[in-house]
Every structure is written in C-alpha cells, then in structure tokens.
Amino acid sequence: MGSEFLAKTKKSAKKYLDRSRADLCRADLFKVGPETVDRQFLAKTEGKADLHPGDRLQVEAEGPGIILRHAGRVVGRNARPNPGLKRVVADAGGFFPAAVSSVHAISSTFEFCVGSAAATGQPNG
C-alpha cells in the first residue's frame, strides 16, 4: 500500500516540477526582461511642474549637471547625473530626448528614461 502511494505521487510531483520550470521561462504580465526596460534616472522637480508618465522631455547639459525641459519650461534638475547619461547628452550636442516614467509627488522627484521609450513618449516597464 505505501509503495504504491509513493509511486503515484512521484509521477505527479515530477509533472508539477516540469510545469513550474516551464512557467519560469514564460513571460507574463508581472515579468519584465532587462532587454525591454530603458535606463531610468531620477530628477528633482523644479517649481510647480505638472508632469505625467509618458510626457516627453528634453535633457540639456548645464555645467556639471543636467536640466530637463517640457514644453520649453525647466521642470527638473539633476545636479549629479550618471556619467553615462552626461556623456550621451554631450555626444548628442548638449540636447537629448527623454520621457517621464513615473512621478513621485511626495518627494518632489520624477523618474525619466532615455532610449527607445523617449522616442515614442511611452515609458516601458
């Protein structure tokens, strides 16, 4: 009796593990692969900027930092940007497109991305 029960459960446990392994590889709503997410950066909101995810921005070099413009107004600033971002902006002639990813009203900051999402105005992730 006991050995028959173990033999039956062994097969179902193996099937369960095989299905679980397949589920790990399958993309779903809650999985975002690193190849589909653009690089995110943080900026401090300037004044009373009314930003929403998907808004297009213009990143500009300003001294050691960067400023972000939306519709011609300065809406954000980062005094110590990532060296890679600073280099990309400098290589592009001092201006580079970006898009707002998320807005954090409590901390007066927002995240923005550069890359494919900035060209479409639709943030990934």
Residue 125: per-residue pLDDT: 47
Residue 35: per-residue pLDDT: 54
Task: Enumerate the β-bridge partners of residue 78.
Answer: 66
Residue 90: per-residue pLDDT: 87
Average pLDDT of the chain to the nearest whole number: 79
Question: pTM score, two decimals?
Answer: 0.63
Q: Hey, is 28 helix, strand or coil?
A: coil
Cα separation, 70 vs 45, in Å, equals 12
| 14 against 70, higher pLDDT | 70
Contacts of residue 51, Cβ cutoff 8 Å, sequence gap at least 6: 45, 70, 75, 76, 100, 103, 110
Residue 53: how many CB atoms within 10 A of its CB?
A: 15
| 9 against 33, higher pLDDT | 9
What pLDDT, in 10s, does the model give residues 61-97?
988 999 999 998 999 999 998 888 888 888 888 889 9
